[in-house]
Structure 1
Amino acid sequence: MPRDINVKNSNLRVLKEIAELLNEGTEISPLLSDVLKKLLEVTGVTTGWIFLIGPDGRQTLASAEHLPVALSKNNCDPLKRGGCWCIEGFRNGSLTKASNIIECRRLEKAAKINKEETEGIAFHATIPLTSGDEVFGLLNVAAPEKKEFSRDELALLESIALQIGSAIKRVRLTKKAQEIALIEERNRLARDLHDSVNQLLFSLTLTARGGGEMTEDIDTKHTFQQIQELAQEALTEMRALIWQLRPSGLEKGLIQAIKGYGEMLGLHVDTKLSGLLALPSLIEEALWRISQEALNNCKRHSGQADVFVSIKATKSNVKLTISDSGCGFIYEKDKTLPSFGIESMRERVEALNGQFELISELGIGTTIIVALPY
């Protein structure tokens, strides 16, 4: 059989195996890790790493396999820090196809420190991960003593990168659809609670008040008052739950929703908005949930009714600051967070690749700062 047919059949097999693997993935991080392992297995390339690059140009090392010591030390710090030609080319739009990188700053720097730790890797190929007009990041591959990849090898890597890009887009679109479905389900549940349980509790409050006014017996009057107070408390809790499921002010904007929720809790919320808010639904939802938890904490623990909320938005990130001048508490940054609610806020932020900061001082107050990219 002619050599070129053997090569074509081999390439088709590689593409088929990777396509099958990508088709099964539902989460981006494990999907990229699995496909990189498969790529190294079926192509004979020994080392690979994938950068995801956001709209703001920030890079994230999403996956890495069989890195030399020079690149894997300190939790892959040599890969995560600093810039290189491929990242710059991605950002300025000049890197549009698979390319051989003859001079890699990261590898050159590592070789100067200890050449043996590069394990013979001095060059790599870089391939953009794309789907249509969208770009998601870079696939980099290398092998010891390999100076360059042939045109056929680059073409195969480019085809694999297109598959990976399409898989990333599919997963993100699926996540988006799930978010929309979740919001719609919350809205439906909120409507049901408002139309049924909320109305029943309101009727119970009126009935108990009427019963107390109709009787002259002191014990009976006291019982009706207790029923009214409990019903009113349950009604307040129910309204707060409905707010959490579907904030009635969110359609007017995040700031108005936060302010309305604070007022419902009996807080006076002073707000400041900088920049134009046009946030993805996932980011808006996260900021809303974090704000709710922070305002709940202010109500329960600060001892003050005044709260300041600031939202500052740019083209690529949004910063939320919530502070009070209440009693505060002693908190050390290297210690465990003081409550489950604050811990859940931090986890929500980190799940979106954001930054969470808690500042509190006894007798001065507490501030929560959240920064999220989008």
Structure 2
Amino acid sequence: MSVEAGYEEISMLKEIAELLNEGTDTKAVLSGVLKKLLHVTGLQTGWIFLIDESGAHQLVADEALPPALANNQNQRMCQGTCWCVNKYNNQELHKASNIIECKRIEDAIKENAGETCGLTHHATVPLRAGQERFGILNVGSPNKTHFEKNELALLEAVAYQIGTALKRIKLTQWEQETALVTERNRLARDLHDSVNQLLFSLSLTARAGVEMTEKPEVRQTFSYIQDLAHEALGEMRALIWQLRPQGLEHGLVSALRSYADMLGLSIETEITGAASIPGKVEETLWRIGQEALANCKKHSQSTAAVLIFQASHRGVKMTIKDKGCGFHYDESLKIPSLGLKNMKARTKALNGHFHLISKAGNGTEIEITIPF
């Protein structure tokens, strides 16, 4: 390698390091790094898969994919399996590797799925930081069937930088989530110690006023104040529950059961399977469950609900339903309420599936499925 080429590689690694250190949006960061890598190395095509603990892959960045792979919004890249993903999942991919052929390209050719632009092979590099693994980086060019040692070494250096950045982003997100939980707990304590106590005192004062006066109009006023204070206390307790759920440390179903009791709902629960649920998934299901039970209390004209919770190593499914008044809902139309929209948005944020069934007079059912 010439001195000039060495300086060029060092400069490229520096620029990539700067890109990785500046961003916190995983997809945006990886897209920028991939584009820079291909530009400097002269390679034409690349893509990055993030792979979770279950072995499922997600396409998070791609550049100049041939039509055979890019058709239908990269559908061929987003589903199915291939040799490089299999090697990664089988713990056989430890460093940059020459892949003989690309299975996705091979399948596309067999199926006459579109132009491949001469792309047949690619190099594959695992993304990791220490012992923690995140996915793979794939790069290739038309008619390029082999990568030299120095090319693979450069790709490994970039992949190591990417892995380190992914670890940093993950830790940053964890810190932000921890800070959010801490702030929620602080706010819940403040509300309980100040506003909640003031409302309780107001309720007692109004009750004393009812007992101390004999004038009907004054008694009616104090009674009205007492009712308002009691209603506000109920709303405040529900808000504190939303900020800091009591019993979540004993499990999601236990916390939702306690929340239903607090709302005055009788709830029937059915649990199938067992699994260790990631914190983010548990938090999301907790928020959705709260909203669903609160809707049951406010709108269903029923005091009973059913909670079905199914868990496995692949994911969870939670169903909450009632036999209340229901409402007319057409899946082809937009979701009618902000609360239901929020439930769907929370589910989609974790690549889950949200399903709502409701008919006037036949109650409402909400089904949430979230993969791990």
Deviates more, 1:112-121 or 1:247-256: 112-121
Pairing of 1:48-63 with structure 2 (within 5 A)? 48-63=46-61
Contact preservation (8 Å) 1:14, 1:43: no
Alignment equivalent of 1:162, drawn from 160, 163, 171: 160
CA offsets, 1:286-307, max 9 Å, x none? 1110001111111122222111
Match of 2:212 among 214, 226, 230: 214
Q: In the alignment, which residue of structure 2 is the partner of 1:344?
A: 342
Residue aligning to 1:256: 254
Question: Number of matched residues?
Answer: 372
Segments of 4+ moved more than 6 angstroms: none
Deviations 1:151-204 (A, max 9, x none): 111111111111111111110111011111110110011001101110110010
Alignment of 1:158-307 (within 5 A): 158-276=156-274, 278-307=276-305
Inter-CA distance 9–278: structure 2 relative to 1 (3 Å threshold): same
Q: What RMSD, in angstroms, separates the aligned Cα atoms of the two structures?
A: 1.6
| Cα displacement (A) at 1:206 | 0.7
The 5 Å alignment of 1:329-368 reads 329-368=327-366
CA separation of 1:315/1:81 partners in 2, compared to 1, >3 Å: closer, same or farther?
closer
Secondary structure of the 2:194 match is helix
Question: Which whole-Å CA distance do the structure 2 matches of 1:324 and 1:116 have between them?
Answer: 50
* 8 Å Cα contact 1:55/1:316 also seen in 2: no
Q: CA deviation at 1:24?
A: 0.4
- Is the partner of 2:94 in helix, strand or coil? coil
Answer whether contact 2:108 2:114 (CA < 8 A) is retained.
no
Q: Find the aligned partners of 2:246 and 2:101 in 1 and give their Cα distance.
A: 56
Give the Cα separation in 1 of the matches to 2:315 and 2:4.
Answer: 49
Q: Does 1:87 align with 2:89?
A: no
In the other structure, the counterpart of 1:325 is 323
After superposition, what is the alpha-carbon deviation per residue over 1:268-319, rounded to whole angstroms, capped at 9, x for unaligned?
Answer: 1112333345333222211110001111111122222111112222234222
Q: Deviations over 1:324-359 (max 9, x none)?
A: 122222323232112111111111111112222212
- Quick check: 1:52–1:60 contact (8 Å CA) kept in 2? yes
Distance 2:218 2:73 in 1: 70
- After TM superposition, the score normalised by the length of structure 2 is 0.96
Per the normalisation by structure 1, the TM-score is 0.95
Q: Which moved more, 1:250-259 or 1:195-204?
A: 250-259
Q: How does 1:26-105 map to 2 (within 5 A)?
A: 26-105=24-103
Amino acid at match of 1:80: C
The CA distance in 2 between the partners of 1:330 and 1:240, in whole Å, is 28
Paired AA for residue 204 in structure 1: L
Letter of the aligned partner of 2:170 in structure 1? Answer: R
Q: Hey, what's the Cα distance between the residues in 2 that align with 1:99 and 1:359?
A: 49
Stretch deviating more after TM superposition (244-253 or 215-224): 244-253
Unaligned 5+ residue runs, structure 1?
none
Q: Quick one: distance in 2 between partners of 1:15 and 1:146? A: 23
CA distance in 2, matches of 1:238, 1:310: 28
CA–CA separation in structure 1 for the residues paired with 2:321 and 2:216 = 46
Equivalent position SS for 1:117: coil
Gaps spanning 5+ residues in structure 2: where?
none
Structure 2: distance between partners of 1:169 and 1:264:
40
1:339 & 1:166 partners in 2: Cα distance?
42
* Mean Cα deviation higher: 200-209 or 357-366: 357-366
